[in-house]
Structure 1
Amino acid sequence: MNSFIEGLAPRRIVVFRALQLGDMLCSVPAFRALRSAAPRAHIALIGLPWARAFVERYPALFDELILFPGAPGFPEQPEDDSALPAFVDAIRERRFDLAIQLHGSGGIANDLVCSFQARANAGFVQHDEIQRPGCFIEWPDTLPEPHRYLALTNAMGAPAESEALSFDLTVKDETEYTALIAAHGIEPHRLVLVHPGAQLPSRRWPAARFAEVADTLADDGWQIAITGTAAEAQLTVSVLGLMTAPALHLAGSTSLGSLGALVGRARLVVCNDTGISHIAAAMRTPSVIVASGSDTQRWAPLDHERHRVVADYPPCRPCSFRVCPYGHECALNVAVPQVVGAAREMLARDQHAHPAAPGKLHAQTDAILSFASEVRHVT
């Protein structure tokens, strides 16, 4: 008996998933399964403007990015539906064979995808939602995020070869990373990345606590680099300003690719539950994740040995608020010693990590200067 995809034999597939970096990385295993089942199909992703870099990074998985103009009920961008009718008309004219709702649990996302009038549809439905024609499964609410989308592709007849996240580096990424090392004196063998940002304020651990963790690890001899986007510079500068130890400030200095290369070479990432935690998972770099508000069963990395989640669980969790209205207990109940202890434990496992003397930002430079001084003294 043919599977859904085999019977349909789609030549043109459109996938709706207009979300941010972490969400997209968690769906890469499902995209790999889809491509394996439809190797010659033209696969278009409907996504946010930033996703152009995402599609370019995975040329084997996608053939095209179609920009989603936004609509009420989709808060990832302005909820304006003025451009929606023209957008839907343009999608209909493409006459896709298969439209896949990979955006979320169902409801209005299904209404939108079904309005594309593809030959067939697939996706998720909520438990109380009417069944949609095509290949729709009930939203698997208890599964980790990557497994949710693999459940759908598996139901479609596209089984996964691997559940692992991936983030393939390009020549451009490596070139940018090399320039980053030269510009900032990065020492990968003792580099710890501290990433205090997150898209939602409710998901951020306090900057002062990140600074305490960074100071402690710097005193242990690790080189600390504070990372973030250019838009997060105020936050990253505040962490830097609260520190007593020296640290590199890399906010706004990395592209998505060079950040991936940086994460891949670092000994540890300390961060909130946000996009960089999924880059760390994809690059197999150990991480300590302070998870505030989020559903850790859903968003925690699958490898619990390599990635340590530190969290507190007040009754209001999981949280759907942008800004916590309850005093942010889930963040404030996570203490600095908990995070430091987890970080030290992860670093102690790494046989290739070599801390320097306490508080040294550029240990290699210090060693070179010391050697030069000895040479001058002898001569």
Structure 2
Amino acid sequence: MTDAVPPGPHAVPPGPSAAPLLLEHPGLVPDVRRIAVLRANALGDFIFAVPALTALRAAYPQAELVLLGAPWHARWLDARAVADRPGPVDRVLVVPAADGIRAATTDDEPTTMAQFVQRARRERFDLAVQLHGGGRNSNPLVTALGARLTAGLRAVDAPPLDRWIRYVYYQPEVFRYLEVAGLLGAAPVTMLPRVPVTETDREEADEVLGPARRPRVVLHPGASDPRRRWPAERFAAVADICVDRGFEVLVTGTGPERAVVEQVAAAATRPVRTVVDALSLGGLAGLLAGSAVLVANDTGPLHLAAAVGTPTVGIYWIGNLLNGAPPLRGRHRPLAAFTIHCPVCGQDVSRVGFPARGGGPSCGHQESFVVDVPVAEVLEAVAELTGADGVHPDRLREQGTDVVGQR
């Protein structure tokens, strides 16, 4: 892999003149039979890219769209694995773990990056698209695929592609990737990520959890970055009120999130159900699709819930809200914490980008940045979205004061 791309017939030279020149190259590329798209990260990251993938599929309907992804993408999206899940992706090639590409997992195959690139070049991709980030590590990989034309994002420290747009941290993720698709002449089909839920998904959720006897509220208190986690006792306060209101409350998580799920269950004074590693990703989609609302930190299940049509109450650090919150408010209530300085050392993370989603250097402290979101606001949002007006006003005020302090 090289650090630069020699100029080709569609190249956009780097420098100040690049932006206006990009506007001159929005046309469709002729004779495209196969498209590679690099997006090898987590669930929420993939969902943000769905509208761009859908735009590419519509613009090049005869082409095969191959996602260069992680092992979970192959299980979730590959038509050979899930024959009844429609979507823009035709096939998945699993990219080996590498710095700036993806983290290693327990189900990785012993494939080197050189072996992967050699195999991928045999695919003879016409287009190679980078929807992965700033491009310092990913643009050399995309260039190495040997496609006729490359397109994607470029941070200031990244090598160029044939067609590129500058990576600017504070931009809604969905629009970031739609802009890249536009470099290849692909107009937006939708600006809202959509993920279909299959009968298999719903059946799995029912088999594991049983049919819902009461409307369900799902709480997801985990997040890969502790700085994006709302305190467990506040999720417990929400759980208690929702149970009092007649909802069945389920607290979900993956294996690494088991401890925080158990903390919520222990702090709740009403009965809740815990669901940790009991469902596949499809089963989780089935559960969320049948639930009244999801309350969650800014993490994959929050974005999955929105994509399957479930109302959501999301708890965001303000920078991540700018990048990742859904734009509509009819079914979604993103609530922001405006803390921009580390609670321990005072570093202003707004200037470097919050490292929880692709930002710059970090002070290393892991204290939550979202503790300022009040319980009362979350409860009010749940009440609005579920039609439960006035969720026990006296108890709401009591919880909003005792757990969080005055609003």
Q: Same fold (TM over 0.5)?
A: yes
* Partner SS for 1:65: strand
- Structure 2 Cα separation of the partners of residues 340 and 144 of structure 1: 26
For the Cα contact (< 8 Å) 2:86–2:196, is it kept in 1?
Answer: no
- Preserved CA contact (<8 Å) 2:151 2:183: no
Rounded Cα–Cα distance in structure 1 between residues aligned with 2:40 and 2:320: 20
Partners of 2:319 and 2:113 in 1: how far apart?
A: 30
> For residues 298-340 of structure 1, what are the alpha-carbon distances to aligned partners after superposition, in whole Å with 9 as ceiling and x for unaligned?
0111213321122222233452169984573522222322322
Letter of the 1:109 counterpart = S
Q: Distance in 2 between matches of 1:73 and 1:307?
A: 32
Q: Which residue of 2 aligns with 1:342?
A: 381
**Counterpart AA for 1:330:** F
CA distance in 1, matches of 2:76, 2:61: 19
Contact 1:272 1:292 in 2 (8 A): no
Is the aligned partner of 1:69 residue 2:96? yes
Tell me the distance in 2 between the aligned counterparts of 1:324 and 1:220.
42
Q: How many equivalent residue pairs? A: 348
Deviations 1:216-271 (A, max 9, x none): 22122221111122442222122111111011222222221121121112111110
Match of residue 269, structure 2, among 232, 235, 244: 244
In the alignment, what sits opposite 1:224? 249
Using the alignment, how far apart are the partners of 1:327 and 1:112 within structure 2?
32
Structure 2 length normalisation: TM-score? Answer: 0.77
CA distance in 1 between partners of 2:257 and 2:68 (Å): 27
Mind listing any 5+ residue stretches in structure 1 that lack a counterpart?
359-379
Other-structure match for 2:132: 103
Structure 2 match to 1:366: none
Counterpart-to-counterpart distance in 2, 1:197 and 1:128 = 33
Which range moved further: 328-337 or 202-211? 328-337
* Partners of 1:126 and 1:251 in 2: CA distance: 38
1:20 is matched with 42
- Code of the aligned partner of 2:45: D
35-44 vs 286-295, greater mean Cα deviation: 286-295
Which residue of structure 2 aligns with residue 113 of structure 1? 142
Tell me, yes or no, if the aligned pair for 2:310 and 2:331 is still in contact at 8 Å: yes
Identify the match of residue 191 of structure 1 among 208, 216, 231: 216
Equivalent residue in structure 2 for 1:87, among 111, 116, 127: 116
Letter in 2 for 1:275: G
Distance 1:4 1:95, change over 3 A: farther
User: Which of 284, 306, 319 does residue 354 from structure 2 map onto?
Assistant: 319
Contact 1:205 / 1:292 at 8 angstroms: preserved in 2? no
Q: Which residue of 1 aligns with 2:72?
A: 50
Kindly, what percent of the aligned residue pairs are identical? 34
CA RMSD of aligned residues (A): 3.0
Q: Distance in 2 between matches of 1:82 and 1:254?
A: 29
**Aligned to 1:6, what secondary structure does the other structure show?**
coil
Task: Describe the SS at the equivalent of 2:139.
Answer: helix
